[in-house]
Amino acid sequence: MKKLFLIHTINSFMDIIYTPHFKPLLDKYPELSISNIMDDTLLAETRENNGITNSVCKRIMNYVDSAERAGADVVMVTCTSVNEAAKYARRFSKVPVFNIDEPTVKEALAIGNRIGVLATLPTSPKGTIRLINEYAGEIGRNPEIITKVAEGAYDILVAGDRQKHDALVIKALLELAEEVDCIIFAQISMSMLPIPLDLNIPVLKIGEAGIKEALRLLDIAP
């Protein structure tokens, strides 16, 4: 049995993340098990401080250690706002650790030099931008990054109004699409959004790429 552990930062992770994106994998891959660790103080503290703190990093590192002790083969952090913590945690872990948005950033750099980052939380683009610049530096690139936040959409989604959330995100998406070569959805909470058919640029959803990377690291054929 291959064991994937997920570290979440929102208490609605079952409805927004696990059930739509990860639970279906259990039927498709009987050799896979998925366990969840949730601490909603991680995102709350990050939002309050307008960025990740040392305390948040330490707690995520502890959760990675706990997952490893529980037999994890791979650990994925599902929140882009705290993605820097995965970078630190994997230095001390014997098993692969990554943040869900890392594979998507690499995809975006392969598409073009004007990269749009769309989010519903102001803390999410910071982590994604850091990753873009980090990976771009490794390959000698200097991309133009344009960010847009659909203000208020995340809190509306958590309150249960997905239709209004989606309308706000689509409006921001169409505006951003005029300026870039591709767009990264900076949060998995956005990944169920249907993409307008007339959009003429790629939209990269971190849930899809993150799952593919997890399966690759687990050596499970998609």
Tens digit of pLDDT for each residue in 23-33? 999 999 999 99
Spell out where 59-139 has E strands.
74-77, 97-99, 114-119
What gap in Å lies between CA 104 and CA 211, rounded to an integer?
11
> Residues 70-90: pLDDT tens digits?
999 999 999 988 989 999 999
pLDDT of residue 127: 86
197 pLDDT higher than 80: no
Residue with tokens 């891959």: 29
Residue 35: φ, ψ to 5°? -120, 150
Mean pLDDT rounded to a whole number for the chain: 93
Residue with tokens 């952090």: 77
What sign results for the dihedral spanned by CA atoms 160, 148, 204, 39?
Answer: negative
Strand, helix or coil for residue 119? strand
Structural domains of the chain sorted by starting position, each given as residue range(s) with its CATH number in brackets: 2-100+208-217 (3.40.50.1860), 102-206 (3.40.50.1860)
68 pLDDT higher than 90: yes
Indicate the pTM of the whole model. 0.87
